[in-house]
Structure 1
Amino acid sequence: MEKQDISKEKKYNKWIVVLSIIIPIVVASLFRIKVDIELPIFLPPIYAVINGFTALILVMAFIAIKKKKIVLHENLMTTAIWCSVIFLVMYVLHHMTSDSTVFGDLNHDGTLNDYEKSKIGVFRYVYLIILLTHILLSVAVIPFVLITYIRAITKNFERHKKIARITFPLWLYVAVTGVIVYVMIVPYY
């Protein structure tokens, strides 16, 4: 039975590898492209809410599966994946149409002077650590989410549970720190 379940997964392996490599490369490449348009809405608070919503959905899905509410769990996880896709599109759109915001840039000139550095002090390092771990884990979680999802749709639930124990905290961390990063950077927009 185990071999049959694994063979069902194998047909998706190429897609998992391709998407896990292509998504970060495309996102990084799109940051270099600047489109001179002004969006009708300011996206960061919207995608921060989506990150918060994703975190909430992940927790609800965890509770649902613990209560053996499988269909609810499946629906919540599918919703979490779509929220992450929508977030990613908005995030890239924002960065293609806007300059990056510098944490601590009180006068909004795009650089930190000595006064601004002294005002933010150690908080800049805290912000950068949270931001860096958020970015690195947002890339790392892609294959975990895809593998976990594939194991679920191929009904390989034992292997699904094993990787979900890793995927859940990684994905939850990425979603929660996305909100934290936004709350920390919002004064400097």
Structure 2
Amino acid sequence: MQSSAGNSKKYNVWIWILSITIPLAVAALFSVKIPGVERLGFLPPIYATINGITALILVTAVFQIRKGNRKLHERLMKTAIGCSVLFLILYIIYHMTSDSTTYGGEGILKYIYFFILITHILLSIIVIPFVLITYVRAISGQFYKHRKIARITYPLWLYVAISGVVVYIMISPYY
């Protein structure tokens, strides 16, 4: 049987591969358009809703672990990861079938929108290794280390989930 340190090294390799590959693949797929497929304009409200659900799940999961309900916390966190993966798949599909929507607002709202959008994008990239490391520490029983990094992961992930909804609400009139 492999030691916990050996498993961690194996997981760390996968964490970094995924943390680099996912953003690069998303960026590359932005330039790919699927020919003959109609614009899938119904997807943005769906993936914005998934972001909102993810935020609610994250808050509920933290509440549950503070109550000592480890099993429910674990299920909720797995669900949050699943929601994030589903969001990413739908987001990629949408952008492979549709041109990006330009924000049409003016004045201070335009600057607020772009600030939220840019921080959302940057933190959605940064949070990937944090989520994966936090998850691996939990499943490998390293609960002290899990809690330590979860204190960083949680607010980052929650911001990404909530800001995704805000970005959608702000740009939705321009679809």
Tell me the TM-score normalised to structure 2 length: 0.95
- 1:39 shift after superposition: 5.4
In structure 1, distance between residues paired with 2:138 and 2:4: 11
One of 117, 129, 132 as aligned partner of 1:146:
132
One of 163, 177, 180 as aligned partner of 2:166:
180
- 1:9 shift after superposition: 1.6
Note if contact 1:54-1:83 (Cα within 8 Å) is conserved in structure 2: yes
In structure 2, distance between residues paired with 1:127 and 1:166: 24
In structure 1, distance between residues paired with 2:144 and 2:21: 28
Per the alignment, residue 32 of structure 2 pairs with 33
Per the alignment, residue 113 of structure 1 pairs with none
Per the alignment, residue 100 of structure 1 pairs with 100
Note if contact 1:6-1:156 (Cα within 8 Å) is conserved in structure 2: no
Which structure's CA Rg is the greater one? 1
Tell me the TM-score normalised to structure 1 length: 0.88
Instruction: List per-residue Cα deviations over 1:49-83 (Å, max 9, x = no partner).
Output: 00000000000000000000000000000000000
Per the alignment, residue 23 of structure 2 pairs with 24
Count of residues paired in the alignment: 172
Q: Residues 46-65 of structure 1 correspond to what in structure 2 (within 5 A)?
A: 46-65=46-65
Would the alpha carbon gap of residues 26 and 140 (structure 1) be closer, same or farther in structure 2, given more than 3 Å must change? same
Q: Residues 158-173 of structure 1 correspond to what in structure 2 (within 5 A)?
A: 158-173=144-159
Note if contact 2:40-2:94 (Cα within 8 Å) is conserved in structure 1: no
Note if contact 2:40-2:98 (Cα within 8 Å) is conserved in structure 1: no
In structure 2, distance between residues paired with 1:156 and 1:98: 43
- Mind listing any 5+ residue stretches in structure 1 that lack a counterpart? 105-118
Runs of 4+ in 1 over 3 A off after TM superposition: 4-8
Structure 1, 34-43 or 18-27: larger mean CA deviation: 34-43
- 1:5 shift after superposition: 4.2
